[in-house]
Chains A and B, each alone.
Chain A
Amino acid sequence: MTCERAERLLDAYMDGELDLPGSLEVEEHLRDCDRCQQRLEERRALVGAIREKAPCFEAPGYIMTRIRARLGESSASKPGWLRLFQPAWASLSGALAAFAIAMLYFLGAPRPGLNEEAVADHVRSLQAGHLMDVASTDQHTVKPWFAGKLDYSPQVVDLASAGFPLIGGRLDVLDRRPVAAIVYQRRKHYINLFIWPAGEGASLSRTLHEEHGYRTLRWSKAGMNYLAVSDVQEADLVNFAGLVKAHTD
């Protein structure tokens, strides 16, 4: 196999999309060709960077409501009283369907309301002037402060050199449990980073959520859920999340 041909097949090989003979052929070439081997490594790094760093945008919550409302309009107009004549099984299957849909959301990573709740927490923390229970730029002061207040120990990372100075932490409530809120600053904006154990709940896929000028970005790592919320630029938040992810074990 020539390098030219190997190059053409390299992505498909990496993606597991080549048939067996094709894969074997590429592998044989890779054993003898350092240059193509290096190309493959680079490609893996690139796709890793895309998966890690390009955000999956999440639909704002109100879109679902709007779509459902418009579906209602577009189905045949039905006089309200006809509903009364629907056989019992129809409403039962309706309830079952609603339950099934709800289960899909609870079982899947995104939980409805989590982003909205985090944004509300964020806004409240700013309005009430209750941003911090412990004000410190020292991670070794902020982290121990949570000891005894939570049944887990959040990792507090120092990102000052990257332009996200730590300014403190506080206890907050998210997803019906007390959570650590670590507060960072980006120029004149604040970022709240919520950290709590993934526990029995589903872990979070990496998603970016935009609503009313605030963005939330959430992910899971090593059994912990992370959710960053702020009004900073999208790219700043994405960068921030990448840094936190890179600095936590």
Chain B
Amino acid sequence: MMEELYGNRTDAAMRQRFEEALLPHLDAAYNLARWLMHNPQDAEDCVQEAYLRAYKAFPRFRQGDGRAWLTAIVRNVCYTAIKRLRGRKEMEPFDEELHFPTPNPSTETPREADAEAVQLMLMNLAPEFRELIVLHDLEGFSYKEIAAIAGIPIGTVMSRLSRGREKLRADLAAFSKDSNI
């Protein structure tokens, strides 16, 4: 009886601590999921799944940045979902070189790239590039935090972010050239 009461109380306390620590980051979690999954429904499913996993793992969560911790979980859930959507095909390790654009001699940056183009081109970037741009440029995580979230060395964060931006710039330049004709 006492145990039941005690267990009950710690459950409630843990749930409170969980909600305080992690519910404020719902928008950040959703934003990443939405950018990775391409559509609202899959993003919603992934975010809910991520929160449940986070809740189960919460007893192991020590003081620290709840937003980064949750983001790492969201990212894992999304990648698992993407894999499943692609038909359980094992994802090959990401090869930056393969995705690197052929150097574009034109250095023009479309200064007035419209919002539609930016969103479209960013959505079409390889997810490994896209997530770094979302995590750094939209969510404001540092290289070090991103390294921990994505489980890659900090040097890889640096080169991958740089290449992702270069690819986005080239795509935008090509896009605005096409649509101007």
Contact = CB atoms under 8 A, between A and B. Distances in A.
Interface string B11-30: 11111101110011011011
A238 B162 contact: no
Q: Size class of A's contact patch?
A: 35 or more
A238 B116 contact: yes
A43 B8 contact: no
B69 interface: no
Contacts of B24: 101, 104-105, 108
Contacts of A207: 27
Contacts of A12: 143, 158, 162
Of listed A39, A67, A71, A105, residue having the most chain B CB within 10 A: A67
Contacts of B7: 76
Given A10-B162, A94-B16, A235 B47 contact: no
B72 to A, nearest CB: 18
Nearest to B111: A45
A74 interface: yes
B136 interface: yes
Interface residues of B, number: 57
Interface string A8-42: 10111001010000000000000000000011001
Contacts of B48: 63, 66-67, 70
B63 interface: no
A58 B4 contact: no
A110 B27 contact: yes
A5 B181 CA distance: 36
B149 interface: no
Interface stretch (B84-92, B93-101, B118-126): B118-126
B165 interface: yes
Interface stretch (A46-54, A124-132, A223-231): A46-54
Contacts of B122: 50, 54
B102 interface: no
Contacts of B13: 90, 93
Interface of A is mostly: helix
Interface string A98-109: 001100110010
B43 interface: yes
A235 B162 contact: no
- The 5 A-B pairs with the shortest beta carbon distances in the complex, nearest first, are A59-B30, A57-B34, A11-B162, A53-B115, A235-B116
22 contacts: A12-B143, A17-B143, A46-B169, A50-B137, A50-B168, A53-B115, A53-B119, A54-B138, A55-B115, A55-B119, A59-B27, A66-B48, A67-B48, A70-B48, A74-B55, A76-B7, A76-B8, A78-B11, A82-B8, A93-B16, A101-B23, A238-B115
Interface of B: 4-5, 7-9, 11-16, 18-20, 23-24, 26-27, 29-31, 34-35, 40, 43-44, 47-48, 51-52, 55-56, 107, 109, 111, 113-116, 118-120, 122, 133, 136-138, 142-143, 158-159, 161-162, 165, 168-169, 172
Interface of A: 8, 10-12, 15, 17, 38-39, 42-43, 45-47, 49-51, 53-60, 63-64, 66-68, 70-72, 74-76, 78, 82, 85-87, 90, 93-94, 97, 100-101, 104-105, 108, 110, 207, 210, 234-236, 238-239, 241-242
